Structure 1
Amino acid sequence: MESNKTYLFKQSINLMLDHIQELPEDQNIMANDMELTRQLKISRTTVRACVEHLIENGLVKRQGSHKVVLRQPQDSDFFDIEDKASTKDKQIEKYFMSLIHHGKLLPGDRFSELSLAKNSGCTTISVREFLIKFSNNGLIEKIPRGRWKMVKFDEDFARELISFREMVEMRAITELLKQPKDHPVWQELRELLVKHQEVSLDMKNRYLEFPDLDRELHFIILKSAKNRFTKQFFDIVSFVCHYHYQWDKTGELERFTIAIHEHIDLLNNLVTHNNAGAILSLEKHLQTAEITLLRCVHGLES
């Protein structure tokens, strides 16, 4: 049954289906297991389980050491994984993020799957699957004997992330601005503007609400691109940027105050359909985000 499948399994199946669709027209052989392990950043065990699923559903067949594609994937072959991670997935994610938020996991720190499982109330299998999925964000890396390490980011990593973010979000906002004025997204943005204004009036006491507002705004922008890779990219930015900021508390109130006013400026331009103003506002906000992330990186390196 679909409900018995883990989030990692469903995500891996979807990625394998993408791989099949992207094969050249004159090629019907999937990548070998080792290459799929490398490309999808999952274990050989998960790769084999996913391949068996594809075989059972008539998408591929084994022919010696090869996996021969029998048909192209249909929409019904893909799993709907949008915001549908299991309870255990959410439980370990919430616990792991709380460790970062409260400064109990810092760049360079090491931790074990067993300790996370014990302290979060999850199984080691759930923990391992979460960490493998989370490692795609570049925030942690695997070390021997069931242990992991928090990654120390350098300036090159930060600049590359921001550069890619600019390309994706600037493309997304141009798609958002094409939406008709009666589209539901404009009401979402008006409501979000009110939330921003309320928090901005009491930043001293409510500034810690900003990361959630930031996540909500950028998600609305990015989902307008209607690209299947957008959600994965959004997760990377959220985890790397927001939680990296949390490792460096210096000037947190000040930088959140600057950012929320930039958001309000952007939202005002969006809801009044000032297209040129919205694009300029987003460019300015992303430039500020780059400066902020670089300051955090340098602060942590000192």
Structure 2
Amino acid sequence: MSDYHFPVPASSPVTPAAPKAETAAFRSRADDTYALLKRDIAEFRLLPGDRFTEGEVSERLGVSRTPVRQALFRLQQEGFVEVLFRAGWRVLPFDFDEFEQLYDLRLVLETTAVARLCEDAPRVDHARLQALAAIWLVPVEARSTDTAQVSGWDEEFHCELVAAAGNGPMTRVHRDITDRIRIIRRLDFTQQPRITATYDEHAQILHAILARRGKQAALLLRSHIETSQAEVRKITLHQVYLARQGGRT
């Protein structure tokens, strides 16, 4: 139905589980399928508009259609795919209005977290901040040039800032937002200059936080996020196709 090809697992197809472990095995297969499909959407192996069937997923992963269907229903509920009447499934097009709103909410959460970090609130996790410093406060020659690696580190940088503030519900909401905007954010890292800018900006934010300069840290963080948000507005489907081609090389 599309030119998308699901990666074939290295192991042999899943064999029937023992009766006592049947429920757990089914959940595992459904969870694994869900994670794979979600990753493929985030990494541009599945593009907005791509169509596929449950049979294609089932055959290539060596699992039955039941866990495949459960995985797809989860992705449907999260707004990643939709079911087509008698025509399989389709990856939903980008909803740029939703991305704008999610970026606005992300900005509120992260600036609130930074304010708490600079106030040194009782629940602040200083170990998380030191772990971030070990990645981002390094000499230029020690910086990673791996776009995929830096993209992942960038995502964790922002998640760890919020987590370090010590508010569990806020951290969970922020993680959910991060999950929703992942595919868009990763388009930021298709060019080397973006890596350099990310290192520089993250370092400035961290220095301000560690020095407890709250207003400066919030302003730097706001500028950093708004720059990324502005790039989202420039994204075209052509860029997404180029990103997928780059992921195949």
TM-score (norm 2): 0.69
Q: Confirm or deny that 1:109 pairs with 2:50.
A: yes
Question: How far is 1:143 from its partner?
Answer: 2.4
Q: C-alpha separation between the residues in 2 aligned to 1:249 and 1:104?
A: 17
Q: Confirm or deny that 1:295 pairs with 2:234.
A: yes
Question: How far is 1:263 from its partner?
Answer: 1.5
Verify the 8 A CA contact 2:114 2:218 in the aligned structure 1. Answer: yes
The letter for the 1-side match of 2:157 is L
Q: Tell me which residue corresponds to 1:222.
A: 162
Q: C-alpha separation between the residues in 2 aligned to 1:192 and 1:172?
A: 15
Verify the 8 A CA contact 1:177 1:273 in the aligned structure 2. Answer: yes
Verify the 8 A CA contact 2:119 2:214 in the aligned structure 1. Answer: no
Query: Tell me, what secondary structure is at the counterpart of 1:149?
Result: strand
Query: Tell me, what secondary structure is at the counterpart of 1:175?
Result: helix
Q: C-alpha separation between the residues in 2 aligned to 1:129 and 1:233?
A: 25
Verify the 8 A CA contact 1:143 1:149 in the aligned structure 2. Answer: yes
Verify the 8 A CA contact 1:108 1:149 in the aligned structure 2. Answer: yes
Q: C-alpha separation between the residues in 2 aligned to 1:90 and 1:198?
A: 37
Q: C-alpha separation between the residues in 2 aligned to 1:107 and 1:276?
A: 39
Q: 2:40 aligns with which of 82, 95, 99?
A: 99
The letter for the 2-side match of 1:193 is A
Question: How far is 1:213 from its partner?
Answer: 1.2
Q: Tell me which residue corresponds to 2:100.
A: 159
Q: C-alpha separation between the residues in 2 aligned to 1:200 and 1:297?
A: 32
Size of the aligned set, in residue pairs, is 218
Verify the 8 A CA contact 1:113 1:127 in the aligned structure 2. Answer: yes
The letter for the 2-side match of 1:105 is L
Percent sequence identity over aligned pairs: 20
Structure 1 residues 250 and 261, CA, compared in 2 at 3 Å: closer, same or farther?
closer
Q: Confirm or deny that 1:173 pairs with 2:173.
A: no
| Stretches of structure 2 lacking an aligned partner (at least 5 in a row) | 1-20, 242-249
Q: C-alpha separation between the residues in 1 aligned to 2:201 and 2:169?
A: 28
Question: How far is 1:109 from its partner?
Answer: 0.6
Verify the 8 A CA contact 2:147 2:189 in the aligned structure 1. Answer: no
Q: Tell me which residue corresponds to 1:263.
A: 202
Structure 1 residues 249 and 159, CA, compared in 2 at 3 Å: closer, same or farther?
closer
Query: Tell me, what secondary structure is at the counterpart of 1:262?
Result: helix
Question: How far is 1:200 from its partner?
Answer: 5.6
Question: How far is 1:160 from its partner?
Answer: 1.9
Question: How far is 1:176 from its partner?
Answer: 3.5
The letter for the 2-side match of 1:107 is P
The letter for the 2-side match of 1:130 is A
Q: Tell me which residue corresponds to 1:185.
A: 125
Which deviates the most, 227-236 or 277-286?
227-236
Q: 2:178 aligns with which of 237, 241, 244?
A: 237
Verify the 8 A CA contact 2:40 2:46 in the aligned structure 1. Answer: yes
Q: Confirm or deny that 1:128 pairs with 2:66.
A: no
**Larger relative contact order (C-alpha < 8 A, sep ≥ 6)?**
2
What is the Cα-based RMSD across aligned positions, in Å? Answer: 3.5
Question: How far is 1:172 from its partner?
Answer: 3.0
Residues 125-157 of structure 1: CA distance to partner in whole angstroms, max 9, x if unpaired?
333333333334433223234832222224423
Query: Tell me, what secondary structure is at the counterpart of 1:142?
Result: strand
Q: Which has the larger radius of gyration?
A: 1
